[in-house]
């Protein structure tokens, strides 16, 4: 496939689904295209491109390989509390009649809308089904079929209290956990492409829209277009809930930002209370006029007083939330904004290891390899067991075409943390041309670990957001390939 062919497919996918594939993400698109071309009698790229133009079902098959359907029940439970304890009561107090309409946009395999239904049942009992109508939509038809089937495996419950799983799920040997019929009956699943010229007729008059952990797939103009589409699909008093780490980065001027009880969301109603100034400042570091903040500390004048300890600019309890906000910006590929926030947080903790690792990862993504490696080395000098630092050094070496150094770093990572599947996967990729047997062993190890831990970050504190489905497919193929072939 030529660069021109790939560019045509990238633009087609972007126009019809909004998905962006740049830099390292291009490999995910190429793997998906190769798989679908093989499924269509080994079509050449030009013929497959024509097929995509005229065959909606084939485009759906391709999209199902491009989206990462990694989610779980009761993700961000504070937002579920916001829904049942604040948003719904507020709407009812304003005289909004029943049933209230809730949309889960980008619902994936159903964990989010089903979590909403369970939270409502827990709060309002059997009356919950009369109080709300829950519509769930996604562009991935395979994910929707799985959502309707409503069988889930153990990993989907990592955020759910065990008592709720016992109450609403039944174990079925060989199939996992089957969701109770009363919960399934509260949710309708339908196809939804948020970039369609016009949303289907059923997507209207929503009181609350959940659009969580989906915006990471889109650039800012596309996210603004999607917000306009959701705005048109909501009532005048409607509320939009995004993932907590992505909310402030999506304040794009379409909705009004609101803060209640420490939780941020958006509203069409401009009369809702605005966020307290101090709350926003804690979550979003100020941009320094028109200039970018320095990425390293600016030397102070010789006569300036240097404080004995860094000034704490964020409350201790908010540090983890700020780090998660940085990860959200990185996942959204907003690298400049991530570096701005990191520079602000460094004033509080200039040698915080987790902050340095995140900065190193952003610098890696923006190809500032020497700076990325220097930060990772600083962390490793203080903590010889930092797998994240080892992985970052491996990535730097790999991107700079130094396979021997990269192999050394990834090997060290596998010794330090044997269950780190990204380390095994990248080690396999580096070994496949020179030591095929060892490469197959690493692919098999990564594949086995993926079955029990399909976390796109590989359990690391770095927002790797790896394409799990694509990597699983590649590992399956290459772990059984004959020596010397891929």
At residue 345, the 3 state secondary structure works out as helix
Q: Are residues 344 and 216 in the same domain?
A: no
Burial 432-441 (b: 16+ CB within 10 A, else e): beeebeebbb
DSSP assignment of 305-339: PPPSS----S-GGGHHHHHHHHHHHHHTT-HHHHH
Burial of 289 (0-12, 13-18, 19+ CB in 10 A): exposed
Q: How many CB atoms lie within 10 A of CB 211?
A: 23
Domain boundary among 218, 248, 278: 278
Q: Are residues 259 and 380 in the same domain?
A: no
The answer as to whether 485 is a domain residue is no
CB 223 within 8 A of CB 252: yes
At residue 269, the 3 state secondary structure works out as coil
Domain count, the chain: 3
**Distance between CA atoms of 320 and 358, rounded to whole angstroms?**
13
The 3-state secondary structure of 372-429 reads HHHHHHHHHHHCCCCHHHHHHHHHHHHHCCCHHHHHHHHHHHHHHCCCCHHHHHHHHH
CB 397 within 8 A of CB 405: yes
Q: Are residues 222 and 270 in the same domain?
A: yes
The answer as to whether 306 is a domain residue is no
The answer as to whether 349 is a domain residue is yes
Strands (E), 100-205: 100-105, 132-138, 151-152, 169-172, 176-179, 187-191
Q: What is the extent of the structural domain holding 52? A: 3-66
Would you tell me the crossing angle of helices 353-365 and 335-346 to the nearest 10 degrees? 150
Residues with Cβ within 8 Å of 242's Cβ and at least 6 positions away in sequence, in order, are 211, 212, 215, 250, 265, 266
Q: Are residues 348 and 422 in the same domain?
A: yes
Decide: pTM greater than 0.75. no
Q: Are residues 83 and 46 in the same domain?
A: no
Q: Are residues 47 and 111 in the same domain?
A: no
Check residue 274 and give its pLDDT: 54
Check residue 294 and give its pLDDT: 32
CB 458 within 8 A of CB 464: yes
Domain boundary among 219, 253, 278: 278
- For residue 209, give the DSSP letter: E
Q: Are residues 329 and 462 in the same domain?
A: yes
Nearest CA to 236 among 412, 76, 96? Answer: 96
Q: Are residues 114 and 261 in the same domain?
A: yes
The answer as to whether 285 is a domain residue is no
**Distance between CA atoms of 314 and 99, rounded to whole angstroms?**
41
CB 260 within 8 A of CB 82: yes
Domain boundary among 38, 66, 94: 66
Check which CATH number belongs to the domain holding 364 and give it: 1.25.40.10
Q: Are residues 129 and 194 in the same domain?
A: yes
The answer as to whether 397 is a domain residue is yes
The answer as to whether 307 is a domain residue is no
Residues with Cβ within 8 Å of 248's Cβ and at least 6 positions away in sequence, in order, are 257, 264, 280, 283, 284, 325
The answer as to whether 207 is a domain residue is yes
The answer as to whether 329 is a domain residue is yes
Q: How many CB atoms lie within 10 A of CB 485?
A: 8
Check residue 189 and give its pLDDT: 97
Would you tell me the crossing angle of helices 353-365 and 369-382 to the nearest 10 degrees? 160
Determine which helix (DSSP H) or strand (DSSP E) holds 235, and give its type and residue range. strand 234-241
Local confidence pLDDT in tens for the 486 residues of the chain: 888 888 888 888 877 776 766 544 577 788 889 888 988 888 888 898 888 888 888 887 887 777 655 688 998 899 999 999 999 999 988 888 889 999 999 998 999 999 999 999 999 998 999 999 999 999 888 889 999 999 998 888 988 999 999 999 999 998 899 999 999 999 999 999 888 777 888 999 999 999 998 876 777 888 899 999 999 999 999 999 998 777 877 889 999 999 887 788 999 987 765 554 333 333 333 332 233 333 333 333 333 333 333 334 444 457 788 888 899 889 888 888 888 888 878 777 888 999 999 999 999 998 898 889 999 999 998 898 999 999 999 999 999 889 999 999 999 999 989 999 999 999 999 998 899 899 999 999 999 999 888 999 999 999 999 998 889 888 988 887 633 333
**Distance between CA atoms of 129 and 132, rounded to whole angstroms?**
6
- For residue 241, give the DSSP letter: E
Check residue 313 and give its pLDDT: 43
Q: Are residues 62 and 109 in the same domain?
A: no
Check which CATH number belongs to the domain holding 242 and give it: 3.40.50.150
Rounded to a whole number of angstroms, the distance between the first and last alpha carbons of the chain is 16
Q: Are residues 90 and 60 in the same domain?
A: no
Q: Are residues 390 and 254 in the same domain?
A: no
């Amino acid at each position: 496939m030529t660069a021109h062919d790939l560019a045509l497919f990238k633009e087609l996918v972007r126009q019809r689904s909004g998905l962006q594939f740049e830099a390292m993400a291009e490999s995910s698109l190429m793997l998906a295209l190769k798989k679908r071309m093989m499924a269509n009698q080994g079509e050449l790229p030009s013929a497959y491109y024509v097929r995509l133009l005229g065959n909606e079902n084939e485009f759906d098959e391709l999209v199902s390989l491009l989206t990462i359907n990694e989610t779980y029940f009761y993700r961000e439970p504070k937002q579920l509390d916001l829904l049942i304890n604040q948003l719904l009561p507020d709407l009812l107090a304003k005289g909004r009649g029943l049933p209230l309409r809730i949309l889960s946009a980008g619902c994936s395999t159903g964990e989010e809308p089903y979590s909403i239904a369970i939270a409502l049942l827990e709060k309002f009992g059997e009356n919950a089904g009369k109080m709300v109508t829950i519509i769930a939509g996604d562009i991935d038809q395979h994910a929707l079929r799985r959502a309707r089937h409503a069988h889930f495996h153990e990993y989907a419950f990592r955020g759910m209290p065990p008592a709720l799983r016992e109450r609403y799920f039944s174990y079925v040997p060989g199939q996992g956990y089957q969701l109770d019929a009363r919960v399934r009956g509260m949710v309708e699943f339908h196809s939804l492409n948020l970039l369609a010229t016009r949303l289907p007729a059923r997507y209207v008059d929503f009181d609350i829209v959940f659009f969580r952990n989906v915006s990471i797939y889109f650039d800012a103009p596309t996210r603004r277009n999607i917000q306009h589409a959701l705005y048109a699909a909501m009532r005048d008093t409607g509320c939009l809930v995004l993932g907590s780490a992505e909310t402030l980065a999506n304040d794009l001027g379409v909705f009004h930002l609101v803060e209640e009880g420490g939780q941020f969301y958006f509203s069409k109603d401009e009369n809702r209370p605005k966020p307290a100034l101090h709350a926003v400042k804690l979550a979003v570091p100020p941009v320094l006029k028109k200039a970018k903040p320095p990425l390293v500390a600016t030397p102070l004048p010789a006569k300036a007083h240097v404080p004995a300890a860094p000034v704490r600019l964020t409350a201790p309890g908010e540090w983890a939330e700020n780090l998660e906000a940085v990860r959200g910006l990185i996942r959204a590929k907003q690298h400049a904004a991530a570096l701005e926030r990191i520079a602000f947080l460094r004033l509080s903790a200039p040698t915080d290891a987790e902050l340095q690792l995140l900065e190193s990862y952003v610098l890696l993504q923006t190809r500032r390899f020497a700076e990325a490696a220097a930060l990772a080395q600083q962390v490793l000098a203080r903590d010889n067991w930092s797998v994240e630092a080892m992985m970052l050094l491996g990535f730097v070496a790999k991107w700079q075409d130094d396979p021997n150094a990269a192999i050394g770093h990834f090997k060290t990572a596998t010794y330090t943390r044997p269950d780190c599947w990204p380390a095994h996967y990248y080690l396999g990729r580096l070994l496949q041309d020179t030591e095929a047997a060892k490469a197959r062993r690493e692919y098999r190890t990564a594949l086995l670990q993926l079955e029990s831990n399909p976390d796109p970050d590989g359990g690391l504190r770095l927002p790797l957001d790896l394409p799990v489905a694509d990597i699983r497919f590649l590992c399956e193929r290459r772990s059984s390939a004959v020596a010397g072939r891929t």
